[in-house]
Chain A
């Protein structure tokens, strides 16, 4: 029974970690997409819809991958790290564009 409970907790942890990490990754992806496309001359709302469309597909793929990955901590680290990096780059692009105008 103890083994079953610990495996249940493990599963709950797995699900929550996968969701949070994938949300952060997708957030970063969409943010970078919007900022990057806008910088490249795309209209803001067009950039938003294009990045979001792809973002949802990215979430889906990454979510399934998280469950199939051999190591959950490593998968989460990659996703959170990648998401933060992309979000940071998006903020940097924003700061540069604001200064330029």
Chain B
């Protein structure tokens, strides 16, 4: 089908890049936002705007809350507490059995607790960062049959294919490191920027696409639960024989021992092994039974992996059952790969590099799409084809439309009152609707205002959406001020970076969008002036 290896690689790069570039842009953009997911949560939930606290007392503060969340101790399955190193509010998760219709089902209750007061907050909050942008970047929130995850994973694999084929196409890899010619015409500088952002962050792009697919690989190749399920079962039987952790209730009632004492013991053990740290995750099972199990894990503040070094206790006696063994070589490699993607650590310069790498990925993909349009638009205009109109409209939808949707959810988050009137949908649903509605509007506008591309001209949609972004970004910052009183002067003087940082980022976005809009407008005017004078010359001749 292809004349040479290089022409095959060019084909893969162009067409898979075009079709899946839109998905990849989303994964990279929202993935980059997820570096600051907990900070975005704090911007979206004013109640969460305080410094991160240590884990509160389980016996006095958390236990009563869990008892209130669970109908009875007999049906409780899991109580989980997640107090990671960047969240101020603590997540409490309770899973219990419900057998209302005769068949056993489980119900999951999630609450957020303010560790300073020990009180559960009003449940109707939406963590836009960690509960929306985060799942969006790997599943597009298309949950049916895991469809979204399959689409993103496939796009991730094709990103890897595009990177390798890109290297094959461009043999002058080293030179492209230093090549950017902004004055050499739009098409040339677009391609320069595409190559530059692709090559400079090549290891980053490769690593993130690869580890992103790797994290959910068990879903795409579910071999251990299908073809080799028997082998998996055999392994579990062998493991149960070795482990001291109970797997079922004993049937003998026994009260829960002091979990605070277990936390102290876990901290002491970590410190004794040269890894002092705070408690990050507590996991309880079979509470109220003699076989109660409490697992305590440190917060991964300075490490690549969480859920390492867990200490397991018998919940009824408080005795240590076992300590997680140090990871072996395979676990270290796997943990390193997924840990670098999930970044549980709190190293801020490194986190910023991640965000910039993600944005460089966006620039690389967007300039690829733009180059596709620029290269073909004059030829398509001559042929009278509409294909390039569709591609440009989708490019507008993905590049500026995605930012508009993101700003839409932030603005609606600040506009909705804390307590919604009776009969309204929940906060999270309304904010989600706002996000998709804003994106849909941007898409409709993009298709309407990119029609001139089919005649080989610049689409006005780009400029108009740039202005929209500027207005929306400033609106979001103002709304944050009006609804919470947290203006930039205050958050900066308090050095409360989660909110100050997002406000500053929004203002930066506003400025960049305004500059871009002005520049594109000027270029379009120049181009149309040249076209007019050419037409006049032709008419005169």
Q: Give A contacts to B, CB under 8 Å.
A: 10-11, 14, 26-27, 30-31, 34-35, 38, 42-46, 48-50, 52-53, 55-56, 59-60, 63-64, 67-68, 72, 87, 90-91, 94, 97-98, 101
Candidates B164, B228, B235, B337; contact of A60 at CB < 8 Å:
B164
- Count of B residues near A, CB < 8 Å? 33
Query: Which B residues are CB-close (under 8 A) to A48?
Result: 218, 223-224
Candidates B11, B164, B214, B230; contact of A98 at CB < 8 Å:
B230
Q: List 20 A-B contacts (CB under 8 A).
A: A10-B1, A35-B228, A43-B235, A44-B232, A46-B331, A48-B218, A48-B223, A49-B331, A49-B333, A49-B334, A52-B221, A55-B217, A64-B164, A64-B165, A67-B2, A67-B12, A90-B227, A91-B227, A94-B230, A97-B231
Number of A-B contacts (CB under 8 A): 96
Query: Which A residues are CB-close (under 8 A) to B214?
Result: 52-53, 56
Candidates A42, A56, A64; contact of B217 at CB < 8 Å:
A56
Query: Which B residues are CB-close (under 8 A) to A44?
Result: 224, 231-232, 235
In whole angstroms, what is the CA distance A43 to B331 when docked? 10
Q: Chain B at the A interface: mostly helix, strand, loop or mixed?
A: helix
Query: Is B481 positioned at the interface, with any CB of A under 8 Å from its CB?
Result: no
Query: Which B residues are CB-close (under 8 A) to A90?
Result: 227-228
Query: Which B residues are CB-close (under 8 A) to A56?
Result: 157, 210, 213-214, 217
Candidates B2, B231, B331; contact of A94 at CB < 8 Å:
B231
Query: Which B residues are CB-close (under 8 A) to A42?
Result: 330
Interface pair B217/A52, CB less than 8 Å apart: yes
- Residue in chain B with minimal CB distance to A101: B234
In whole angstroms, what is the CA distance A27 to B224 when docked? 11
Query: Is B161 positioned at the interface, with any CB of A under 8 Å from its CB?
Result: yes
Report the minimal beta-carbon distance from A41 to chain B, rounded to whole angstroms. Answer: 12
Query: Which B residues are CB-close (under 8 A) to A43?
Result: 235, 328, 330
- Residue in chain A with minimal CB distance to B232: A44
Report the minimal beta-carbon distance from A57 to chain B, rounded to whole angstroms. Answer: 8
Candidates B224, B234, B331; contact of A34 at CB < 8 Å:
B224
Candidates A26, A38, A87; contact of B231 at CB < 8 Å:
A38
Interface pair A87/B227, CB less than 8 Å apart: yes
In whole angstroms, what is the CA distance A94 to B223 when docked? 12
In whole angstroms, what is the CA distance A68 to B438 when docked? 42
Interface pair B217/A98, CB less than 8 Å apart: no
In whole angstroms, what is the CA distance A36 to B297 when docked? 33
Candidates A11, A26, A45; contact of B221 at CB < 8 Å:
A26
Query: Which B residues are CB-close (under 8 A) to A31?
Result: 223, 227-228
